[in-house]
Amino acid sequence: MERLDKFLADSGAGTRSQVKQLLKQGRVTVDGKPEKDGSRKIDPGLQTVCLDGTALGGRYRAVFLMNKPAGYVTATEDPREKTVMELLPPQLRHLDLKPVGRLDKATEGLLLFTNDGELLHRLISPKSQVPKRYYARHEGTATEQDIDAFAQGLTLADGTQCRSAKLEPIGPGESLITICEGKYHQVRRMMAARNLTVLYLERRQEGCLTLGELPRGQVRPLTQQEIELLEQGESEK
Ligand code: URA
């Protein structure tokens, strides 16, 4: 038996104070009956707890979007460097979130986290074709030949073959790059292959998701609709 409010928080329904509000608002039911008392003891093995009509399984599927700052490595732990995990607020630490793919230490911008291993593997699989759009400041200025080379599928310095990608120069030394794969240091290496050394890199979009107004260093949960769109984008390709 455990307290209902603890079960709700551990299921990812929200922080302790958000859970209090959810209970007060009558959005929680136990075995079909509205329950407002967070101190009530429940047996998650025998009873069904619902939030807004959806059953909580004790560990719900969570997907979060971070606006990653430079200076953090994308890893769950690292002996020397600061990791993106340190940027997750303490109330999310129990959710067992893992970064989806990786951004380099110096790269900023959109980074997803989830506790759903299956979604994670689908999104980072070599078969995944979710488009990822980056803003780069770089040496030189991209030309028509560079745009064509990206569209044809570049061969990197070590012989790695890239899929067709989109290069959009937006000003002197500034471009948007859209790729549908995630090889190691891919954007930097693609730009280097065209003598356009990257000086600054930010991921701005992944599938239908953008950074929006999310401040650097902050995270927000994806809505159910955003999760569905992300999955659809995934399966359509
Ligand atoms: N490509 C890179 O070179 N670095 C990143 O962090 C992401 C894509």
Residue 15, domain CATH: 3.10.290.10
Is residue 40 over pLDDT 60?
yes
State the distance from the centre of ligand 1 to the C-alpha of 204, rounded, in angstroms. Answer: 12
On whether both 144 and 31 belong to a single domain, the answer is: no
C-alpha distances out from residue 170 to 40, 73, 135, 142, 167, Å: 58, 28, 9, 9, 10
Residue 185 belongs to what domain range? 132-206
Task: Report the pLDDT value the prediction gives residue 237, as an integer from 0 to 100.
Answer: 43
The answer to whether residue 173 sits within a structural domain is yes
Task: Report the pLDDT value the prediction gives residue 36, as an integer from 0 to 100.
Answer: 96
On whether both 174 and 138 belong to a single domain, the answer is: yes
Average pLDDT score over residue span 197-207: 97
Specify which residues 168 forms β-bridges with.
176
State the distance from the centre of ligand 1 to the C-alpha of 184, rounded, in angstroms. Answer: 7
Mark whether 116 is an active-site residue.
no
Higher pLDDT, 2 or 186: 186
Higher pLDDT, 142 or 233: 142
Q: Name the residue with the closest Cα to ligand 1, atom 2.
A: 185
On whether both 146 and 190 belong to a single domain, the answer is: yes
SS3 call for 27: coil
How many Cα neighbours within 13 Å face the side chain of 154? 26
Domain count, the chain: 3
Is residue 47 over pLDDT 90?
no
Is residue 95 over pLDDT 80?
no
Ligand 1 residue neighbourhood (C-beta within 6 Å): 103-104, 107, 185-188, 201
Min mean pLDDT across 161-175, 200-214, 222-236 is at 222-236
Choosing from 104, 146, 148, 158, which is the catalytic residue? 104
Is residue 82 over pLDDT 80?
yes
The answer to whether residue 237 sits within a structural domain is no
Higher pLDDT, 7 or 237: 7
On whether both 105 and 220 belong to a single domain, the answer is: yes
Can you tell me which atom of ligand 1 is nearest the CA of 132? 8
On whether both 121 and 226 belong to a single domain, the answer is: yes
